[in-house]
Amino acid sequence: MATLLSLRERLPEAAMILTSGTPQGLKFARAQLPEKVGVFPFPLDFPKVVSRAIDTFRPDLFVNFETEFWPNFYRRLRDAGIPAVLLNGRLSESSERLYRLASPLFRPVFGQFEFLAMHSREDMERAVRAGAPPARVRVLGSSKYDGLIGRADPIRARFWKELLRIEEGSAVIVGGSLRGTECLGMLRVFRALAGTGPRLLGIFAPRHMNNIPGMCDWLAKENIAYDLLTDIERHDRPRTAGIVLVDRIGALFEIYSVGDLIFCGGTMEPVGGHNILEPAAWSKPVFYGPHVEKVLHEHRLLRGFGGSFTVRDWGDLAAQWKTMASDLPRLRSQGARAKEALDSLRGVVENQVSILLKALRCLN
């Protein structure tokens, strides 16, 4: 998103179209981008469907972000003479195995990119093994982290602190992007810590909204009061409970700004991790479990700067938080180190825009 906005500043008259394969992605993009940028669903990878989409939009350049390599789509790009560039490129071990097993389908896809800007050295090596020409591949990082720094607005931090009635001296737990059993796991950790130290407020955001009813049912059975974020927002009423369930998409990044003890999900469940650098934009350290396969580069970066904490299981998390809840100033110093880690990633957007401008100039 940050790269697209920056490119639009350089080429204000260019027609730009963004596609997304998920309803959540479409909603987010339409809310963030100016009206002049068209936002559409990505076509299903059937020959007639992709041919119609490409013939309709007739792009001069196709830019792929991160993953998703659809053979029929790329074959049609090649037939139409439309160059492709990969930015924020990621390839997991399991994806590489799939692409190598189906080499006749995917090797031509990786071979037709004009340039592949990969997220990490591991991603670069996997892309080359999958068929990318080594001379066209380099490690550039991810542009989404440049965008994080710009989105961390202190005014929004004050807004959330006032909306949620967060009192001085209280400790705020935030569980973000929770998956599967993590939803109840975080609630159990909160219950174990409640009353053992300073006043606690727990804010819990599942990755998928269909987990909210199960969390509500568990809290009701345990006779634990809670508020839904949309009720607080919709009715403009004060928070009354010690737990807030984030029952809408799009609020989590800003909510991290009020957190003291922050856990990022997809890491106790064997998912591989979600957005562990987002809290760093607000100078917050982050806790996460052992499953960090999808965010290994970010994990190494945060650990190198001393801005994150890994935990073995829920008991380990509760034990660490019980100690740290009474020493929040020390925890905030760790947050400054997390911000330093994120700052070290600046400049990716500018480099990516340079790549796109070069690719467009080659068309003339």
The pLDDT, as a whole number, for residue 34 is 76
Backbone angles phi, psi at 138, to 5 degrees: -150, 160
The pLDDT, as a whole number, for residue 166 is 93
User: Which residue has better confidence, 196 or 302?
Assistant: 302
Between CA 298 and CA 308 the distance in angstroms is: 10
Q: What is the pLDDT of residues 281-339, one digit of tens each?
A: 999 999 999 999 889 889 999 999 999 999 999 999 999 999 888 888 888 888 999 99
Q: What is the pLDDT of residues 118-161, one digit of tens each?
A: 988 889 999 999 999 999 999 988 887 877 888 899 999 999 99
Between CA 52 and CA 104 the distance in angstroms is: 24
CATH class of 2-142+346-361: alpha beta
The pLDDT, as a whole number, for residue 133 is 93
The pLDDT, as a whole number, for residue 289 is 97
Structural domain spans, the chain: 2-142+346-361, 153-343
Query: Quick check: 363 pLDDT over 70?
Result: no
The pLDDT, as a whole number, for residue 290 is 97
Between CA 124 and CA 9 the distance in angstroms is: 29
The token pair that represents 76 in the structure block: 């049609």
- Looking at every residue in the chain, the average pLDDT score rounds to 90
User: Which residue has better confidence, 314 or 194?
Assistant: 314
- Nearest CA to 164 out of 52, 299, 39, 257 is that of 257
Q: What is the pLDDT of residues 237-247, one digit of tens each?
A: 789 999 999 99
Say whether 153-343 and 2-142+346-361 share the same fold: yes
- Nearest CA to 289 out of 271, 305, 301 is that of 271
Residue with tokens 């401008």: 357
The token pair that represents 185 in the structure block: 């796991």
Q: Is residue 200 within 8 Å of 194, Cβ to Cβ?
A: yes
User: Which residue has better confidence, 39 or 292?
Assistant: 292
Query: Quick check: 220 pLDDT over 70?
Result: yes
User: Which residue has better confidence, 218 or 99?
Assistant: 218
| Dihedral (Cα; 319, 322, 323, 327), 10-degree rounding | 150
- Nearest CA to 252 out of 9, 11, 24 is that of 24
Query: Quick check: 209 pLDDT over 90?
Result: yes
Residue 77: how many CB atoms within 10 A of its CB? 20
Segment 26-40 mean pLDDT: 80
Least confident of 12-16, 177-181, 208-212: 12-16
Judged by DSSP in three states, 329 sits in: helix
The token pair that represents 208 in the structure block: 């998928």
Segment 66-93 mean pLDDT: 90
Q: How far is CA 330 from CA 23, 266, 324, 333, in A?
A: 41, 26, 8, 5
The pLDDT, as a whole number, for residue 197 is 66
Q: What fold does the segment set 153-343 form as a domain? A: Rossmann fold (3.40.50)
The token pair that represents 233 in the structure block: 């927002």
Q: Are strands 84-89 and 113-118 parallel, antiparallel or unpaired?
A: parallel
Q: Which DSSP helix (H) or strand (E) runs through 39? A: strand 38-41
| Dihedral (Cα; 315, 319, 322, 327), 10-degree rounding | -140
Between CA 354 and CA 349 the distance in angstroms is: 9
